[in-house]
Structure 1
């Protein structure tokens, strides 16, 4: 109902003080009721009246005046003139009706109480007294003079007194309401002062601060935010306009999606890369919901902070930390290599001794005597019986062969023992090497890594090439991401390879709005999902199953190793590397999923 009443008021009246707004609503309501009664009189009373023509003219004239007064309210900045017209019409109508009827009952009708109640509220105490005195004078003096009542003036005078009492009561009510209005005005003034202090405090900060309504229109914007908008968009947005209108279509859709997540109750934090005054900057932007009395979002706040210096300091600190890790790793590798060389060297000494003994004992084997014995047997193959019975050499040959076989058996046992010792030493060397290989596969310098920071490092390596060819980079990192136990260098190499492939896909697409996005979020199963998406040339559906196959490539100068090695590295980190594409010209999205606490690496 209030909405329909407000629709009949002008914008200044709707935006005015609460008191003026309530007066305007009352005025519209009374005019509406009078119009209704006027229409009923035109349709049902004029034809039955003693003088239809005069009654119809009067009713039509009133109808025109009421409609004109409503029309005036749609364009007036104050209700003063319409209220005065209405008060005059009501007072005149009551008086004229009493003269027309000419009876005391009509003259003292309770309708006269409308005059003080209506006029005091709409016009104030003085004008209310003026119209009340007119109604009371008509009731107590004019009407009895024109139409002397048969029962005397008492009833007329008492009725006039009651009308004046009605004005007095209305005055008291108005005075008490004015007191309340003064208290309300003081409260509003205090609220405005507090608001001005808050605005001054917000303006004093160097960080951009902005408040938005539920559809993204600007409510407040501090000086730092206005300056940032001037640098980005070439002008300061006006209050009431949408903050997202100046963005490109892709950025506008992205920020509207983030705004919807914020209005759903989520606190959204993103790091946005910008170019201000020709220099790359990094802004940390927080979107927080503004909750109403029923704990439902009624808007949102946007806080920005330039963290370029912090990012550079973090990069330098991270580089120093990685250098220390490299030095530590090389020192550990040297120590491990020294231990391996020491163990293998000692074992090689034993191997050399065993090999020397084997060579010496093999040289000392009495194989030549066995050869001579076989030659003698071959020479006397025709008369072996005579050779063994009469020839002295034949008679000694069996005893010689017995001694020779005993000697060869002893040498065999010795050689087998020495060979077993040599085999044990070789197995020891193999065990030392295998143990080192196993340690090299498992450890791989696993450390706690902040994935957003690692992605920023990878982007920094490609920043110049991206900017040179006009590729817009977007990052969307979920809030409160955990650290991941992973081999930093393997993961960095995977991301760098994916960024390089995305750059080639965007260069070959010839699109004017080249953009690349990196997204990090938690996924089910205590895992972390990293997505690298572009709007480049896309991938044919028949090529998707072979994209990670060794040697497969669609580049003219490609070798087909990068994605294959990246997929293998992801498996070694305990994760997976997947690819999705809607087809040619639709871009591609590569997804890396890693265990948060570090998975069991795969060989």
Structure 2
């Protein structure tokens, strides 16, 4: 059995017996106490008061007897009558104070007999004082007296028997307590003996383990450890035996391991020497790089004392390395104008740079103004551990670059005039780009109409007419009897349906061509805003404008297998410039289609959505799951001339931004990177005057 279970079980058993014993003792002592209280509060007082009643009855009897003996002395009789009445009052007081529900009936009989006895006595004594007094009925008085005394005796004996019974109960309970205490005492002694036995056996096993541990410590690994228990100590004995065997095996193989370790340490020493040689070589290489570096490199400790000063620094500041080593950089190289690079004035002994790992452009002044120069300074921190911090200053002379900047500013002035002329070219380019998008749609419509006309069934109509002409003389007989003539009416009906479908398709393509031509006209007109022409705003259904823009690109979208998913409320209207918005959406859908070139056909999707916000603004989005946009290209995407397409010119998105601004709105783009798709958002604000 588990040792822990034995000990805990024994203690738990003692605890349970103790608790039961305490509870039983409390209950038993409470019962004895209740019996004692019952005797003190009820039985004993009732006996005492019954004795007082017997005494009152005795005095009443003496009063009656004394009254009989004094028949000639009326005063004496009156005194005896008064005494009987006083006894009657006292009887009532004592009787009413007795609380005894068990013998309540007997008490009521005693009360009744006494009242009858005392009243009879008073009547007899009062009658004896009269001259013609009746004879005294002594037998009745005697009978009442005997009956009253018998009832009192019976009540007194009942109370004595009750007291005797309750005292016996108390004695029995005391005997039960004595037996219980004796049994519990023997039980606790047995439990304690059991626990002591378990502890002694455990101590004996532990002593055996101590001896085994001493043998193991002394290296006496041949002495087998006896395993004679199945509890935790048995597990510990087993563990010690396994440890003894393991130690014996390890010691047996220790020489081989020591030899192997020696060889390993020797190899590590060789590796360490090689590493030291590599580090020395690397240090020499770094030293060579610092010595041959084009930039000035100065290394200082935390206090600013110069520890490295390469030849480029010596040349730049016209000071030798020996001259500068050990000097403070704030006193010898840096000036007051460099104070912003540190936490406080450069005159302090301990300064910490505030622009670490930042390229700062600053000016260095030498002894005379002719030797002053501009330089880029880059400060980095080298932490060697143990709070050993050094600062490395990389300084590059940029005087030539500054001079070039001055020249560049002069050239910018010359280019400013040229840019004005380029603006005119930009307008023309924008017109050509947007017109090109629409012409692509017109070309697609023309190809569709050409295909319908080339495959038209009109030639079949001419053949039927030729057959009818050849048989015009007997046309009725030909149609009713000839096999070819019989099928002509049905064939003409079907041909009529086909030609009607062709006519409807051609009409739709012509309407689309007309819409696109009108859009070209509006594109040209919209560019005239630079010459003072105003925009044309009207309230339109946004879903219709999206559909027109999709239709312009439909042929190309179908050819590339691109699915367009729409999320545009059918009842959404807004005041916009129709042709400018079509221009924007057409460009965005066309660009999205190009971005999906390398996406599988069944996965290429364009998502078009529009929503009117609570503040009255209109938000439209064109999103694709195509090639995405690099992060570095996002800022330049709307710049005139910027493009990521080989055949692109950088005009489309730039013109879209201008069109959005011209309608009082803006356009933004978002992309998580390459192959993550892109989302273009147009936000138009409500125009109070137009609304």
TM-score, normalised via structure 2 length: 0.24
Larger radius of gyration: 2
Q: Tell me the TM-score normalised to structure 1 length.
A: 0.27
